[in-house]
Amino acid sequence: MNQICTYAYYQFKVNIRYKMNNIFSIMSTFVAILVQFYVWKYVEQVEHIDTNIISIYTLFALTFSILLPIFSSADFISSKILKGDIAILLQRPQSLLFMNFGIQCGHVLYRFCYRVLPIWLLYFVFFYKSIYYWDNPQFSILIILSSLFSWILSFILGYIVGLLSIQLISISGLKSLVSGLLLLFGGGLLPIDLYPVFLQKIVLFTPFASINYYPVAMLSGIATFNAITAIKIQLFWLAFFSIVLIIVHKSIYQKIEIMGG
């Protein structure tokens, strides 16, 4: 635990150095919110649909896209493989898994303080009317668990994607595919409730819904699914990808040993 905290603190301090980059990131993210907000306002005028709830959902979905470590976890592992550092790291007494976990904790702490909070402040200032329509859910243990499982599942999936660098060399294409699947099956753009009924039944059982949609829908107050069932589905995917990670990790370790690492 101390090692994880050490890596988290180190990464947090490293990220603080890039203040101007963070300012531009906040501006670009806010522009994205602005565009989506006024697109939905136009839809509301034309189709006479109340889009305030969708605006709240979009904000939570954007928040999760910032905090989830799927791509930063993949990039960390991929960089160690491509630079040739993976063989040395695997021989260390400190687990590479815990090292990556600590670094991602540092990333999420930094992003929450320096990206999420400013974005929320800007959203409340400019779009405060939408907040009145937020059906604020009870802050229950189920929401906490769902958000935690979402983050861990995202970390594990990113770790697996990063390990595949030893086969793919470049994981940019795979990352783009995962990003697209998160948007489509994870409700990254629209609540899954707006999908056709037959598609909803499929999407809700995908790992991408477990990563993004379940916690976002619970937090935004639009969840129409059973929360207990959602937690069980998340636990299933956690167990599944944990097994996949163990298999892939052993395969990579054996390949490095054969190559003389």
The DSSP code sequence of 22-68 is HHHHHHHHHHHHHHHHHHHHHHHHHH----HHHHHHHHHHHHHHHH-
Helices (H), the chain: 2-16, 19-47, 52-67, 70-82, 86-91, 96-111, 117-126, 128-131, 141-163, 165-168, 172-185, 197-203, 207-208, 214-220, 227-258
Mean pLDDT highest for which of 132-141, 146-155, 211-220? 146-155
Q: Is the Cα torsion angle 192, 223, 34, 110 positive or negative in sign?
A: negative
Name which of 17-26, 151-160, 215-224 the model is least confident about. Answer: 17-26
pLDDT in tens, 172-218: 889 999 999 998 889 887 788 878 888 888 899 999 999 999 999 99
Provide the domain limits for residue 226. Answer: 2-258
Q: What is the pTM of this model?
A: 0.86
The pLDDT, as a whole number, for residue 129 is 66
The pLDDT, as a whole number, for residue 48 is 63
State how many domains the chain has.
1
Name which of 85-94, 136-145, 163-172 the model is least confident about. Answer: 85-94
The pLDDT, as a whole number, for residue 93 is 59
Alpha carbons 244 and 157: distance in angstroms, whole number = 9
First to last CA, the chain: 28
Mean pLDDT for 94-120 is 86
pLDDT in tens, 40-92: 777 767 666 667 777 788 888 889 999 999 999 999 888 888 877 776 766 66
Mean pLDDT for 242-261 is 75
Question: What mean pLDDT, rounded, does the chain reach?
Answer: 82
Q: Which of 156, 210, 154 is nearest to 187 (CA)?
A: 210
